[in-house]
Amino acid sequence: MNKPASFFITFEGLDGCGKTLQSKRLHEYLKSADRKVLLLHEPGSTPLGEEISRLVKWHNTTDLSPITELFLFNASRAQLVQDTIKPALAEGSIVIVDRFTDSTLVYQGYGRGLDLELIRQVNDIALQGCQADLSILLDIPLEVANLRRKKTSDRFESEKSAFHRKLRAGYLELAENEPERWMVIDGTLEVDIITSIITEKVTLLLETTEE
């Protein structure tokens, strides 16, 4: 019997879009189907990544520059790819990550104003050849994101509305430019409907991959 083909899925969107819930639901669905699957999040999922997450998201006494953010996020990513993602994919696992390189393009590029090609170059170093097969964008209007946002906000969640408008526009532009990789879903749909859309799409892609 052939080893199952690996598959790499990322979830993206504004804070409050529901990606964390939906990534957990997809993980549970695939586990129930006896699939070898791993759920991760960025920044984090390694001891170094968790330290970087606390520094870059919650350390309010230091004014981090956009370029510093870029390198910190990619330091976390490089460790996660090396320690966890590459080995899992090599074993034929399905890997699900809540935020990945597109978050860096959107937040540090469209949001902070760094050159997108510079970000891609730094991202590529950290990726070590690992590219997402499917990226799921849960798209919500800014007004919905504001209503869903937690009362305790990190450095990025606390940014003004203009920043978050740039983020949404950035996500939609990335998806438009690479439609073969992206799946854009209306994040205001009922939660169970979103779950059904995602599981149906992923099941079909896995079946196609393993034919």
* DSSP for 150-165, written as a single string: -SS--TTTTS-HHHHH
Q: What is the pLDDT of residues 43-52, one digit of tens each?
A: 989 989 899 9
pLDDT reported for residue 59: 72
Tokens of 137: 């964008």
Give phi and psi for 134, each to the nearest 5: -145, 130
Q: Which parts of the chain register pLDDT below 70?
A: 1-4, 60-62, 150-152, 211
Question: Which residues touch 175 (CB under 8 Å, ≥6 apart)?
Answer: 135, 137, 182, 184
pLDDT reported for residue 154: 79
Q: What does each C-alpha distance from 198 to 40, 181, 203 come to in angstroms?
A: 17, 14, 8
- Does the N-terminal peptide bond of residue 43 adopt cis geometry, omega within 30 degrees of 0? yes
pLDDT reported for residue 55: 85
Smallest Cα–Cα separation from 48: which of 87, 78, 20, 23?
A: 78
CA angle 202, 39, 30 (to 5 degrees): 40
Q: Count Cβ atoms below 10 Å from residue 34 Cβ, excluding itself.
A: 7
Q: What is the pLDDT of residues 75-121, one digit of tens each?
A: 999 999 999 999 999 999 999 999 999 999 999 999 999 999 999 99
pLDDT reported for residue 109: 98
Question: Following CA atoms 74, 169, 186, 154 in sequence, which dihedral angle do they give, to the nearest 10 degrees?
Answer: 50
Is the distance from CB of 98 to CB of 23 less than 8 angstroms?
yes
Dist CA 129 CA 123 (whole Å)? 10
Give the CB-side neighbour count of residue 7, counting CA atoms within 13 A.
23
pLDDT reported for residue 147: 86
Is the distance from CB of 10 to CB of 132 less than 8 angstroms?
yes
Please name the residue that has the structure tokens 């350390």: 59
Q: Domain segments of the chain: what residues?
A: 7-209
Smallest Cα–Cα separation from 106: which of 146, 176, 163, 179?
A: 163
pLDDT reported for residue 71: 96
Q: Residue 4: left if φ>0, alpha if ψ -120 to 50, beta else—which one?
A: beta
Prediction pTM value:
0.93
What class is the 7-209 domain?
alpha beta
